[in-house]
Structure formats: C-alpha cells, structure tokens
Structure 1
Amino acid sequence: MNGTKTARFAMTWIASIILAIGLSACEVQPVAPETPSASADRQVDQAEALSRKGDYKGAARAYEALAAQSPGDLRDRFLLRAARESVRADDTAQATTLLNQVSPSLPRADFGLRSLVTAELALRGGRGDKALAELDRIPQPIPSELSSDVLELRARSLFALNRPVPAVSAALERERTLTSKDDIRANQRMIWQGLQKSAAGNADFTPPANANQTLAGWLDLGRAALVTARNPFSANEDIAQWRSRYPNHPANSLITEDVLPQLGVGLSYPTQIALILPLSGRQQAAGMAVRDGFLAALLQQDAGRRPMLNVYDSAEMGATTAYRKAVADGAQFIVGPLTKDEVTAIASSGEVSVLTLALNQTADNVSSPPLLFQYSLDPEEEARQVAQRVTADGRMRGLVLLPNNEWGQRVYRAFDTELKTLGGEIAGMKFYDPSARDYSQPITELLLINESRARANALFATLGTRMEFEPRRRGDAQFVFVGAQPVQGRSLRPGLKFHLAEDLPIYATSDIFEPDTQANNDLEGVIFPDMPWVISPDAASTQLRSALTRHWPVRARGRGRLYAFGFDACRIVPLLKAGQFGAAHAIPGMTGLLSIDEKGHVKRELDWAQVSGGRALPLGTAATAAVR
C-alpha cells in the first residue's frame, strides 16, 4: 500500500499548524518546525521496512502506534494499514477489530484500501460473494498501487465461487503487470491452487470461444490439477497428456519445479516405515480401516520406489513396546499409534528417536518431543471452523446445544473461545443427555419456550381467564450450533423444528452426518464442515470411495473417514521427511487441506456442505443457502 506521501504531507501540515498556534500565543524565538513530521516519517519508514521483511505483526503494531498519535483521516489511514498487515499476519480477529475502529466516512482516496481489507476478511471467512461485492465498490479507476492486489483478490474470490474462467482471466491480467520472476511464479501458483478449488466443486472449465492458448491451457489443466493434488501418484498420465497438448505453456515449468516436488512426487520415502495400530481388541475396526487406507496410498507408488512396511499391533504388544521394537527392527519413520492414551504414552516415554507421525493428540499437560508430529480428526478444530463460518455468514449471536460429556465440553470450549475472538457471542447454552430418547426439555429451555409459557400462565392468572395462546421462542439468536452423533442429530433437528426454530440456521460438526440418504432426511438444512472424502463430488475422491466400497463394502459403510485418514497419513510421510512445513506447503488431501504448523500439528481446512434431500450438497465458500 503506498499512501506514504499523503501521510507525510498531512503530518507536516499538522506540525505547521501546531507551530503557528504556538508562535502566536507567546513570544518566543522561532525554532525549526521539524520534530513531529520527522518522527512520523521515521515510523512510517520503519513500518514499511518491517512489512517488506515479512514481519507483518511488527508492521501492524507500528501502524497502530502511528494511528494512536494521529488525528482524523490520518488516524483512519494508519488503522487501515495496520488492519491490512494483520491480515497478512493471518490475525483476522485483530484485523477485524482495527477495521471496526475506522470512521464510516473516509476520504475517497482511502475507499480502495478499506474495500480491499474488508474483501480479504470476507474471503478468508468463506464469503467469496461478499469479497467480490466489496471489490466492486472501489471507485474507478482503481489506484495503480492497489490494482495488482485487487486483481489477485478478485481471482481468488472467483475461484472460491467455482468460476474458473473469469478467475484465470483476472489472474492473467494481473500477470501482465508483473515484472519480477518471483511475483510471476507466485501468480501461477495462485492459479494452480484456484484450479484445485474449482475442480473440487465440479466447476465448468470450458474455455470461451475467443480464449488464447494460455487461458485455454490453464482451464484444460483444471481437472488434472485436483487429481494431481489429491492423489499425485496416479496423476502422471494426466499430466503427460496435458503437456503433449500444451508443450510451451508457462505452467509446464511450474509443474516440474514447484508443484510435483511440493506434493511429494519426486520426494523420497524412507526405505523402511513402521505402522503401529490397534489390530485386535476394542479398537480393531478403527485400526484396520486406517491400515487399509495407508496401504492403498502406498500401493499406488511405483514398486521400485515403494518403502518396506512393517505393521505392529499396539493392542497386543502395548504401544511403547511396539515402538521400541519398530526402532530396533530398523524403522526410519513411524506412523502411529492411534489412540490418545497411546500417543501420550509414547510422547512421555523419552524414547522418540525417529521421525514419528502420531495419529492422535497428546493429553493437554504433555509436551511433544521434537521428532513427534501429531495428526488427528480433531472435533475441537472443527468447532473452531464452525465459529469462523457462522461469523463469515454474518451470524454473530447464537445458541449452542451439545452432549453432556467430555466430548461436548471440549467442543464447547473451542467454539466459545473462537466465536468470542471473532466478535460473536453465545446467547444461550444447554447440554443434553446423549442417552435420552426425548430432547424436548433441553430444546424448550434453550429456546426459552418454557419462559414464554410461564409468562402466559401468569397473565391468565392475573386476568382470571384463559385465552388462546401460542408460545414464542426467544428472538435474540441468529443460529443454533448442534454437536451430535448421527442418531442424536436425527432427533435434535426435528425437535428444533417442532419447537419453533425452523427458521434458525443449524450448524454442526461432521459427526452428525453419515452417508445414508434415507436416514439423513431428518437432517434437512443442517450446515456442516467435512473432509472431501465424504462430501466432494470430484473425480479423485469419487474414485477412491468407489474402490473402498468395491474391495471392503462392510468397512466402507462406517469407517470411510478413517480409511481417508490412513490414506493421507501416507501422503504426509515424505513431506515431513523433507521438512516441508507451513501453509506454503499445504496439500489438498482426502481429509482436508493439510499443512503442518509450528507446533508440529497437522492442520485440516475442511470443505462445507448442507444436507439436502438426505445428501451432502457442497457449499464451497459462497453464502450458505437458506434453511428449508
């Protein structure tokens, strides 16, 4: 953002006014009118330098300090800059807070930056439609210092809305203004990632009649982009065919130098891997599903490069004993164990001596050794993503209905914390007995219907007569967040509808949904996040689901998510071995968009769906549909 000259002029003007007032108020010898302006100039230079170095948090703090000492329009301008740097630092909560402090009335010159920051926040919150609307509010012509960022954000928003043709066109228009090779390559990566998003939503990649070879080539790459990302070991033929059609396309070097290495194609697996899972006892079914998914991914690799795999039964041997034996047998990488207690035992043992991908999380009070990474299907992370979604949908005040158990408590804490961070609040909260058959009491108490009846009865008693009465639910909520397994969910959703909450959007975690069209009719309208394996209609996911159903029909019905979990665990191994961490190395897996954070946790960004006719209808990042 380049408003430095305007900012410095304003500070100089303010300093001159202050000096003039001081000279007219008292008789003193003239002094050089330099201090306020020079100080502001230095602070602006420092903030810009921090931003260029990638210290976006530091730059945001510097701009906040400038805003605190500046009046009027200048204060708003620095607040907008601070908000933008906060977005770049992935601190969307702080960016939102800063944006809310900006005056509604701004000089025309600042409209563009406010719309740009607002649009970025909308897109990150899952609202591509709102992001485009904000960009369209920027007065024309767009300031030259903003045009590149506006085109980039427009392209990303269009990709999120499954509109790849105008998205690629916007990205190519942006690329024509770029001069740096690094910037051009970053723009190409953005196109590649956008193609994956659109392909996941089964978008139309048909090029327009007047498309040139560059545009047509990118669009033709759309389907192959997603297959390559989801299952790169099976995508070589698709990529080879595309290369033969577009041998001189600029995406060729991107695929060879960036994409395939990042996805693990060309990265080597360890020569020997150990898989530690419960293959007997109470967790046998779960362990076998994860094992089968892991093997499915491993067997898709070329036989000559496939690592040796030894499998150990943690239920029979004990997780710690199995871990010791795997190391003694020569394992260079260990995947597992699966349960929380087992992972905690391994983390506490002091024996983690090789790279290890645990398939759960340690207990809260146990620290993770340096070589131990944690990957789990975490309901708390899902709850945080639900909070992000409801606020992105413009619903800031809601009701919460969760089971009265340890799972419900964990989900509640995660949802409540994230919702408050984003400026929302919980208007009402009830825990229900998950073993009950009738949920009328917690539902009516949550909706305050019992209080409505009590007020009516008190009125009737005062009047000494009875009148026709229809109870009313509370009117201070914009959504209901429900945590439930499928059996409870199929009772809670109709119960909420019966008790006058039909018009309230219902959000849930993925636990509420299972692929059973007839059973899910009672979940009509429920909005939830889930892994692509369950809800994505794309070819790569469909192919793997079909393979599981064909080879293991019994396991496919209830253990599909765990099969996908095992498949992605295998995908992550070479990335960890190569040290490819952070969001820049995210891969679109079967369980979500996967990346490894600074704490060694595998993060999953999920897709969104709404139940319609018993099926999960993908929502993408558009505004959620009206509840039926």
Structure 2
Amino acid sequence: MTALASIILAIAVTACTPTRVVEDSPAVVTDRQVDQAETLSRKGDFKGAARTYENLAAQSPGELRDRFLLRAAREYVRADDTARATTLLNQVSASLPRADFGLRSLVAAELALRGGRGDRALAELDRIPQPIPRELSPDVLELRARALFALNRPAAGVSTALERERTLSTQEEIRANQRLIWQGLQKSAAGNADFTPPAGASQTVTGWLDLGRAALGTARNPFSANEDIAQWRTRYPSHPANSLLAEDVLPQLNIGLDYPTQIALILPLSGRQQAAGMAVRDGFLAALLQQEASRRPLLNVYDSAEMGATTAYRQAVADGAQFIVGPLTKDEVTAIATSGETSVLTLALNQTNENVSPPPMLFQFSLDPEEEARQVAQRVTADGRMRGLVLLPNNEWGQRVFRAFDTELKTLGGQIAGMKFYDPAARDYSQPITELLLINESRARANALFAALGTRMEFEPRRRGDAQFVFVGAQPVQGRSLRPALRFHMAEELAVYATSDIFEPDAQGNNDLEGVIFPDMPWVISPDAASSQLRTTLSRHWPVRARGRGRLYAFGFDACRIVPLLKAGQFGSAHAIPGMTGLLSIDENGHVKRELDWAKVSGGRATPLGTAATASVR
C-alpha cells in the first residue's frame, strides 16, 4: 500500500432531483467521473485516474478545484510522474480547508522524499494539524519512517514503523509494513548509517537493526546474501522478521538469481571502443562468477567491432541464446532495433536514436547524461534554488544536456537566468564566465561613467545578483579549470552543480573542484561495504581499468543483475534494486532508470550528501 492509498475521497456534490430527468445534471456527471477516477486508481491505472481528476479540476471552481488538483497530484505520484505532480501541487491554493490539509502535506512530503529531501518531508508532515485523523495515521507514519531511513536514522525509522504497525489490522498490512522496514534498512545501510541500538531498545528493535547490516549486501550483491541471513536467523530465532525473510526475502532472492540457461554478451572487444567493451565485459563476468557454479548460465561473448552488431546478434540467436546483453554503442543499438530480428529478450547497453521506436523485446540501459541533468534540476529545486546559470560545452553533448536540464527545471518551476556555451578545447574560460556573470557589463557601465565624468575612480566590478546556483557541464579536465575560474570571478558563494562527468575518482586534480555538488553511482561515492568490496576487487585484479574505466565496470556488473528482473517481468519502482550504478528499476517504456546518490567535493574527495539539503557551498 502506498503512502496515500487509504485517503478517502470526500467531496460533497449537491443537486436538486427533478421529477423527470432529460439529461444528466452536472452533479451526476461529476459523481460519475469521480467514480471512474477511483476505479482507475484501484485497477492501477494511476495516470488515467490523474487525468480524470485534472479534467474535473478544470470544470470546477474554488475549493472543489483544489480538491481535484490534489487528488490528481496524488495519482501522478503513484504513477511515478513527480514532475506533473509537482506542477499540479503548485497550482493548489495556499488557503485550503482543514479537511484537505493532510492530503496536501502527504503529497508534498512524498514529492520531497522522492526529490532526495527527507528533512523537508518531515517538515511537511509536521504541518498536519493535530490530532492527526485516524484514517491518515498509517500514511503519515509510513512517510515519516521512510524519511527517517533516508536520513540515515534507522533506529528512529524502525521505531516509527513499529508504531505504525499498531494501527494496522490485517496480516497483509503488517507484512507490507515489515517490507517497509526491510527496504528502509537497505536505504540506511547504503548511506553507511549507524545501526547501534539505542539504550533500552527492545529485542524487536535490536533485531531489526542487526538485520540492517545484512540488508544492503542482500540487495546490492545477492549472490552472497543467503549466508548473512542464515547467521542472523540463528541469533534471532523468534524475531517477527523471520517470517518475512522466509516467505518474502529469500524467495525473492531466488527470483533475483534466476538466470536463463544461456546468455550472449555482444560488445566491441577490438577497435576504438575496445577498452570500454572490455571494462563492461569484466564487470558482467564479475557478477556472473559470484554465482554457484551449478547455477551459473552458459555465457557466449561476441565481438561486435569484428563481426558487426547485427551479424553478432544473428549468430547469438543461432547459437541458442535465450537472453542477449548488448551491444554497447548508440549506432549498434539502433541497428539492432531497426533490423527486425529482435527475437529474444535483449538488454541493450545504450539507447536508440531519438526517432527510433525499439521493438517490444528490446530494453535499454545506459549511463545517460541527460537523465543526470534532469536529476540535477530536481536537486537544485529541492534545495530551494529556483533561479540559476548554466555553463556547458559547445558541442552535441552540451546541447543534449542543456535541453534535458532546461525542460526539467522549467517543469519544476525553476528558471535559467543566463546561460553560455564554452569552447571545450579552450584553455582560458574567462570570457564566457565574465559574460555569464555579467561582469563585462559592469565594467562597461563603469567605463561609460568614467568617460562622462572625465575622470577615473577606484572601481571593483560586480557580478550579477539574480542567481542562486551555477550548473556546469564538463569533463574532468575542463571542470578543474572552470571551478577555479568561477571562484576567481566572484562566484564563490554560488552553489555549483554538475553531472558526474566532472569527477574522476582517485585523481589529484579533484582539489580544484572544491564544493562542486554532483550525482553519481554508488560505485564511486557510496561508503557501504558492498560497494567498497567490489571496488577493492577491481583495483586488485585490474588496477589500470579501475582508474580509468571503473564506472563501466560497475555498468557491466549491474547489467548482469538486471537480467533476472527482465526474465521475471519485474517492472516498475516497486521492484527497484540497489545496484552499483544507482537504484535501478525498469519503466513502462522499457528503459532502466537510475536514481543516483549525491556527493560534494571536499578536500578532493567525493563526500556523500545523502538526502540533506546543501546549504553551504564552501
């Protein structure tokens, strides 16, 4: 059950009842549409329900319009369309009736939590008038527990979830609440939370917290999970989580490890993309080799650079592949998608060209800079920074990133105050930066004033004051020059956001990126034990690739993890898995979505930010 599932629609529509009805009255039509929206929601068609409520809002005045907008926003949240939900929530009047305030706070809290702001989610929940209505209590406590887990406060999260359990009546609801705790423990473990039980904690709370130490490893790397869970069950034989582990978690692990008997991997293992292809291959093999030999599928590897992607695909099918992973480049993926030969489940490791619709059996997984740009836009608005500047390279990559960032920022109510494209081959970025900050205009005004006065005075140019952040798109070499240049030109107090491309792990030059905030995969920035162990393994066995191709190694590892999800048809955010490249789920369009972690460069290192706001940029 979602956080908003038990809200009861209570809209009173009054109308006279004529002796003879010739046609439906507006009240009857409204009632019918409300029933339709509720039916769609119960069937899981949340977008259909949301559109129905939007139509009702467009036909309704005042408070009634706000009520329908709130319910439309709730349904869009359920449909994972947070951008549209945010837009509708912003249209709701600030002066709501008391009866609607709880739903508004729940929707706002859910959006804040999904935007990485657990602290804001708690603040929204605290705005609900006391005493909280009984019918809202389970939803409020659920969101509060999830926010606490996201803020790396697992002890408080467990206690809140157990308080929620006392408001539930059916075994199904209690089991869902236990899954909430399990998932929350995984979230906190990913943030390297402290699982030490507080003084006086009950055996139930202590057991849950002890289970947290195994929770992330179970999700991030399930191949070694059974042993960890077995040891916990020995320590806590009568703990209520045992039934969850036996009936939900362990069977789910078996699904998570249920691979086809034969897999084909199509990658460029020669030519210009050889290094990238080998890194992805090694990551895929690392995941596969952690399985028991008796359960490990047969893997055939094909060189797309030598054979051609389409020929390699045909050969893999002819050799008996039940599942194909690859190819790697956009052109190769587009060629497969348009070949008409996609006959087995296929996980492409890139995206097709924009004008190509992939066939039903082809899914797409990529390290997409445009998705990162959208997540940056979500982060800056969640951090309360609604107006900013954009500085991107003048190339095709920069154009793509700009379009994605600009669209998402505007959707969330933000605004770009100024933007500049710079030459990525240049060594001096003073001109685009001074133009972006309007320092050149400040100097021009001063020179005009001096000319008019016929004299010169002491003058210090000023940068523009209408921006709260700068979004920079850059590779590591450019980023290490752009960040100091921004600081030199009086932009020290502006928050600087970037995509992960700006940060190169284990590089000395990262000291020049001080204060930059960016999203990245757990492989790079997460302190948890599962990620650290795999990073260490890569560095030990392939030290050269670890330095330059670590993200691609993690990409290959996660590609292997996704195969069972696709085989089992586990789509949507409800089946998300914490991977090495992000929190992974498969959307309705067949794209693998990655929810990234956040970091800030401090002392040359990527310091995890978790979900807290980034108030200071120094």
Same fold, TM-score > 0.5, yes or no: yes
Corresponding residue SS for 2:136: helix
Change (3 A) 1:95 1:268: closer
Specify the alignment match of 1:25 in structure 2: none
Specify the alignment match of 1:396 in structure 2: 386
Q: For 1:327 and 1:235, how far apart are their aligned partners in 2?
A: 33
CA contact (8 A) 1:87 1:95 kept: yes
Once the two structures are superposed, residues 535-576 of structure 1 have per-residue CA deviations (whole angstroms, 9 ceiling, x without a partner) of: 000000000000111111111111110111111111111221
Alignment of 1:112-191 (within 5 A): 112-191=102-181
Once the two structures are superposed, residues 282-310 of structure 1 have per-residue CA deviations (whole angstroms, 9 ceiling, x without a partner) of: 21111111111111111110011111112
What amino acid sits opposite 1:460 in the alignment? F
Change (3 A) 1:507 1:148: same
Change (3 A) 1:594 1:266: closer
CA shift for structure 1 position 68? 4.3
CA contact (8 A) 1:159 1:198 kept: yes
Alignment of 1:563-582 (within 5 A): 563-582=553-572
Corresponding residue SS for 1:312: strand
CA shift for structure 1 position 471? 0.8
Change (3 A) 1:313 1:586: same
CA contact (8 A) 2:222 2:256 kept: no
Change (3 A) 1:561 1:264: farther
CA contact (8 A) 2:345 2:362 kept: yes
Among residues 310, 321, 325, which one is paired with 2:300 in the alignment? 310
Specify the alignment match of 2:406 in structure 1: 416
Structure 1 range deviating more: 350-359 or 386-395:
350-359
CA contact (8 A) 2:388 2:418 kept: yes
Specify the alignment match of 2:463 in structure 1: 473
CA shift for structure 1 position 103? 2.5
Among residues 613, 618, 627, which one is paired with 2:603 in the alignment? 613
Specify the alignment match of 1:192 in structure 2: 182
What amino acid sits opposite 2:481 in the alignment? S
Change (3 A) 1:264 1:513: farther
Q: Structure 1 residue 560 and structure 2 residue 550: aligned?
A: yes
Alignment of 1:498-537 (within 5 A): 498-516=488-506, 518-537=508-527
Q: For 2:312 and 2:142, how far apart are their aligned partners in 1?
A: 50
Change (3 A) 1:444 1:49: same
CA contact (8 A) 1:375 1:602 kept: yes
Among residues 36, 42, 52, which one is paired with 2:42 in the alignment? 52
Structure 2 portions without partners, runs of 5+:
1-5
CA shift for structure 1 position 507? 0.5
CA shift for structure 1 position 448? 0.9
Corresponding residue SS for 1:323: helix
Specify the alignment match of 1:83 in structure 2: 73
Q: For 2:549 and 2:489, how far apart are their aligned partners in 1?
A: 34
What amino acid sits opposite 1:429 in the alignment? M
Q: For 1:503 and 1:366, how far apart are their aligned partners in 2?
A: 44
Q: For 1:612 and 1:137, how far apart are their aligned partners in 2?
A: 35
CA shift for structure 1 position 430? 0.8
Structure 1 range deviating more: 274-283 or 249-258:
249-258
Specify the alignment match of 2:535 in structure 1: 545
Structure 1 portions without partners, runs of 5+:
20-27
CA shift for structure 1 position 55? 3.0
Once the two structures are superposed, residues 155-183 of structure 1 have per-residue CA deviations (whole angstroms, 9 ceiling, x without a partner) of: 11111111111111111111221223332
Once the two structures are superposed, residues 185-231 of structure 1 have per-residue CA deviations (whole angstroms, 9 ceiling, x without a partner) of: 22222211111110011111111233223222211111211001010
Change (3 A) 1:60 1:327: closer
Q: Structure 1 residue 457 and structure 2 residue 422: aligned?
A: no
CA shift for structure 1 position 348? 2.1
Structure 1 range deviating more: 608-617 or 303-312:
303-312
CA contact (8 A) 1:125 1:392 kept: yes
What amino acid sits opposite 2:329 in the alignment? T
Alignment of 1:303-342 (within 5 A): 303-342=293-332
Corresponding residue SS for 1:145: coil
What amino acid sits opposite 1:513 in the alignment? F
CA contact (8 A) 1:161 1:622 kept: yes
What amino acid sits opposite 1:232 in the alignment? P
Corresponding residue SS for 1:610: strand
Once the two structures are superposed, residues 286-342 of structure 1 have per-residue CA deviations (whole angstroms, 9 ceiling, x without a partner) of: 111111111111111001111111222222222222222222222222211111122
So what's the TM-score if we normalise by structure 1?
0.93
Q: Structure 1 residue 406 and structure 2 residue 396: aligned?
A: yes
Change (3 A) 1:150 1:319: same
So what's the TM-score if we normalise by structure 2?
0.94
CA contact (8 A) 1:587 1:594 kept: yes
Specify the alignment match of 2:342 in structure 1: 352
CA shift for structure 1 position 3? 6.1
Specify the alignment match of 1:294 in structure 2: 284
Q: Structure 1 residue 247 and structure 2 residue 234: aligned?
A: no
Structure 1 range deviating more: 569-578 or 320-329:
320-329
Q: For 1:206 and 1:402, how far apart are their aligned partners in 2?
A: 45
CA shift for structure 1 position 41? 4.5
Q: For 2:148 and 2:399, how far apart are their aligned partners in 1?
A: 38
Change (3 A) 1:314 1:614: same
CA contact (8 A) 1:261 1:267 kept: no
What amino acid sits opposite 2:42 in the alignment? R
Q: For 2:63 and 2:442, how far apart are their aligned partners in 1?
A: 49
Once the two structures are superposed, residues 225-247 of structure 1 have per-residue CA deviations (whole angstroms, 9 ceiling, x without a partner) of: 10010100012211110111122
Structure exhibiting the larger radius of gyration computed from Cα positions? 1
CA shift for structure 1 position 409? 1.0
Q: Structure 1 residue 435 and structure 2 residue 419: aligned?
A: no
CA shift for structure 1 position 38? 5.3
Q: For 2:601 and 2:227, how far apart are their aligned partners in 1?
A: 35
What amino acid sits opposite 1:102 in the alignment? V
Aligned length: 612
Structure 1 range deviating more: 73-82 or 481-490:
73-82
Q: For 2:27 and 2:443, how far apart are their aligned partners in 1?
A: 66
Once the two structures are superposed, residues 7-52 of structure 1 have per-residue CA deviations (whole angstroms, 9 ceiling, x without a partner) of: 32xx44xx58xx9xxxxxxxx9999xx9665555444444433333
CA contact (8 A) 2:56 2:65 kept: yes
Specify the alignment match of 1:233 in structure 2: 223
Q: Structure 1 residue 445 and structure 2 residue 465: aligned?
A: no
What amino acid sits opposite 1:361 in the alignment? Q
